[in-house]
Amino acid sequence: MKKSIILAISAVFVLLSACQPVEIRQELKGGITESQLNISAVPQIRDGKNSNYIDLNSDGNACLSSWDFGVGLFVGTKGTVKVMMKGANDIIFTGLNADGTMITKTLTVQVDELYDVEPEWALFCGPTGEQTWVWDDVTGPGVWGNGGYKGCAAPCWWVVSLGDINGQAPGEGAGASMMFTIAGARLIKNYNDGTSQQGSFIFDMSKITLDDGGNVWAKGKLNTKNVTVLCGKSPNESNAPVYNYDILKLTETNMVLSYPEPGAGSWGTAWFWMFKTQ
């Protein structure tokens, strides 16, 4: 994982160097070490308290700068980022030297009060910053299946029970789970054979979907990367993995997701997932 993160950061530096050479060009001479770094991550003070807005500064260091602030990556020597948790937050600085070597340093900031944080973070990730979700085998007759796009609010045509999920997605039925975490905006899928797969997620609650009557059918979008939700596939598309979901319901205890097949209009085929908190 550490190697993949370093490769990803290197790719960001290379792309920015190719696309924006004037903006990030620095006078790099040789390489510096962690002990030579002069960097800071300072919370902005609001109402007399440390807020979740953090000012980053690495000006004057002879290396290219990247900051991992938990829910995103900032590339640059100076800027402000927003973290999503109270308490201690680790911000990991990575510097790329002219000789290709990398240096890292972790700065810990204390956040006393959160501002402008979407409430859905607490719903996805729980009050502690990480939340486990499992199949909801209580609310309806099934946990997965298909139904009408912008018409149904759960699987209402072909309905699959929890006991039949392993037949559709081996290892992802009873006993499997998903963990959403604020740190790194990670999504970890835990199979019921003890293995796991890790990716990330983002959401956008401004992207709503209305039904034919003008009522809100989906309240936002959830996108995952490198991992799907449990049984996250589209059977009529050769079981293609699904990474983009409509959020039909999201509370402290329940989540309902949907995915319309390409070209589906009202009452076209959509797939539905029913989850609950563990």
| pLDDT tens digits, one per residue of 149-196 | 999 999 999 999 999 999 999 999 999 999 999 988 999 999 999 999
Instruction: Give the domain ranges of the chain.
Output: 2-111, 120-277
Mean pLDDT of 253-264: 98
| pLDDT tens digits, one per residue of 44-98 | 999 999 999 999 999 999 999 999 998 889 999 999 999 998 899 999 999 999 9
Binning pLDDT at 50, 70 and 90, where does residue 30 land?
A: low
Mean pLDDT of 247-272: 98
DSSP state of 253: S
Which numeric CATH code is attached to 2-111?
2.60.40.10
Mean pLDDT of 212-233: 98
**For residue 122, is pLDDT > 90?**
yes
DSSP state of 76: S
Q: What does the pLDDT read at residue 183?
A: 86
**For residue 7, is pLDDT > 50?**
no
Query: Starting from the edge strand earliest in sequence, which strands make up the sheet with 102-111, in order?
Result: 73-75, 64-68, 87-96, 102-111
Cβ neighbors of 130 (< 8 A, separation 6 or more) are 179, 180, 181, 182, 183
